[in-house]
């Protein structure tokens, strides 16, 4: 069944209606959305690894042969690599070294920089996940369950002339007229992160606010980028993570009329 949304002007007045394209009719698949988001996040993960010589920088070879110098033959020592700390004549004082179970020894299975974190996903699944996320953002119940402060007339489509806004204060005024004051306040309020991340330069975190989807290169892309919690993106560049941050579908999203028309005309993500 084709869904129809009202078109709202910059003064929050209804100026017509627009039918949503077939991309918004996809069945809601949170499992597929989760896979697509994890695939995107995994490709940003930086490789890391231990020094290949870590724990191996000492001479720890110990002979077990009879009458070898520095030998352990007949001394009742276990077969562990050892290094010499002190000696008195031919009597050596050894301590364990090099082996994983010793102090300062190597790790048994350290992380290696050759490890690949990227998780692949089929193109058909990725596009299906985007369509599923699109169908979720126009479902008011799913958006509210995500914690957003939803205006009474949501969902709606914004007129294309709003893409020409050049100033941040004009975008804030527009969002206020559209009923997003509570949502902007929610996304601007920082929270103290749980766990050790707050001791590692990530003390605070903020909620994701509205996503504004425009038809192409425009002034609003730079005018709204400094507003906390808000993302502005071209319709051809949307992905599962923008529509479902944290792999949780239902981000509150504002489409311009030009973006919807381009989505239908070029059959994006089909």
Nearest partner of 242 among 251, 38, 21, judged by Cα: 251
In a domain, 163, yes or no: yes
Question: For residue 225, what are the domain limits?
Answer: 4-44+118-265
Q: Supply the pLDDT for residue 90.
A: 84
B/e letters for 175-192, b = 16+ CB within 10 Å, e = fewer, are: beebbbeebbebbeeeee
Q: Supply the pLDDT for residue 137.
A: 95
Per the CB < 8 A criterion, the answer to whether 205 and 191 are in contact is yes
Burial status of residue 264 (CB atoms within 10 A of its CB: 0-12, 13-18, 19 or more): middle
Work out the average pLDDT over 127-148: 95
**8-state DSSP, 27:** P
In a domain, 75, yes or no: no
Per the CB < 8 A criterion, the answer to whether 130 and 139 are in contact is no
The SS3 call for residue 61 is coil
In a domain, 184, yes or no: yes
Averaged confidence pLDDT in the chain: 93
- Residue 116 CA to residue 5 CA, distance in Å, equals 44
How many structural domains compose the chain? 1
Work out the average pLDDT over 197-214: 93
In a domain, 78, yes or no: no
pLDDT of 140 over the 70 cut: yes
The SS3 call for residue 170 is helix
In a domain, 103, yes or no: no
In a domain, 162, yes or no: yes
In a domain, 146, yes or no: yes
CATH number of the domain encompassing residue 25? 3.40.1370.10
- 51 CA to centre of own chain: 28
Q: Hunting for tokens 């009458």 — which residue is that?
A: 67
- Residue 101 CA to residue 80 CA, distance in Å, equals 9
Instruction: Give yes or no for a cis peptide into 155 (omega within 30° of 0).
Output: yes
Report residue 2's pLDDT band, with 50, 70 and 90 as the boundaries.
low
pLDDT of 40 over the 90 cut: yes
Report residue 91's pLDDT band, with 50, 70 and 90 as the boundaries.
confident
pLDDT in tens, 98-116: 999 999 999 999 999 999 9
22: Cα within 13 Å, side-chain hemisphere: 8
pLDDT of 214 over the 90 cut: yes
Q: Supply the pLDDT for residue 75.
A: 87
In a domain, 255, yes or no: yes
- Residue 118 CA to residue 115 CA, distance in Å, equals 9
Work out the average pLDDT over 36-47: 96
- Residue 15 CA to residue 83 CA, distance in Å, equals 83
pLDDT of 203 over the 60 cut: yes
Neighbours of 124 (CB within 10 A): 8
Burial status of residue 122 (CB atoms within 10 A of its CB: 0-12, 13-18, 19 or more): exposed
Q: Supply the pLDDT for residue 85.
A: 93
Work out the average pLDDT over 149-163: 92
- Residue 224 CA to residue 191 CA, distance in Å, equals 22
In sequence order, the 6+-apart residues with CB closer than 8 A to the CB of 73 are: 63, 64, 65, 66, 67
pLDDT of 176 over the 90 cut: yes
pLDDT of 1 over the 70 cut: no
Q: Supply the pLDDT for residue 255.
A: 96
Q: Supply the pLDDT for residue 179.
A: 92
pLDDT of 181 over the 60 cut: yes
- Report CA torsion sign: 51, 52, 57, 62: positive
Q: Supply the pLDDT for residue 224.
A: 92
What the block records as the tokens of 38 is 């994890």
pLDDT of 148 over the 70 cut: yes
């Amino acid at each position: 069944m084709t869904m129809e949304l009202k078109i709202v002007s910059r003064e929050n007045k209804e100026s017509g209606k627009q039918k949503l394209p077939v991309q918004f009719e996809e069945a809601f698949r949170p499992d597929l959305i989760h896979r697509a988001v994890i695939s995107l996040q995994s490709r940003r993960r930086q490789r890391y690894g231990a020094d290949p010589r870590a724990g191996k920088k000492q001479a720890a070879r110990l002979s077990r042969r009879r009458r070898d110098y520095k030998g352990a033959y007949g001394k009742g020592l276990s077969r562990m690599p050892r290094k010499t700390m002190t000696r008195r004549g031919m009597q050596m004082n050894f301590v364990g070294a090099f082996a994983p179970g010793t102090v300062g020894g190597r790790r048994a299975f350290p992380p290696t920089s050759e490890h690949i974190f990227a998780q692949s996903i089929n193109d058909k699944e990725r596009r299906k996940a985007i369509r599923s996320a699109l169908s979720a953002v126009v479902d008011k119940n799913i958006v509210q369950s995500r914690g957003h402060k939803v205006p009474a007339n949501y969902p709606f489509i914004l007129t294309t002339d709003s893409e020409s806004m050049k100033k941040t204060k004009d975008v804030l005024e527009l969002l206020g007229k559209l009923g997003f004051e509570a949502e902007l306040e929610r996304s601007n309020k920082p929270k103290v992160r749980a766990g050790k991340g707050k001791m590692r330069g990530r003390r605070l975190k903020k909620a994701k606010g509205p996503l504004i989807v425009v038809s192409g290169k425009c002034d609003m892309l730079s005018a709204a980028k400094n507003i906390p919690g808000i993302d502005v993106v071209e319709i051809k560049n949307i992905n599962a993570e923008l529509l479902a941050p944290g792999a949780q579908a239902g981000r509150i999203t504002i489409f311009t009329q030009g973006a919807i028309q381009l989505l239908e005309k070029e059959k994006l993500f089909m």
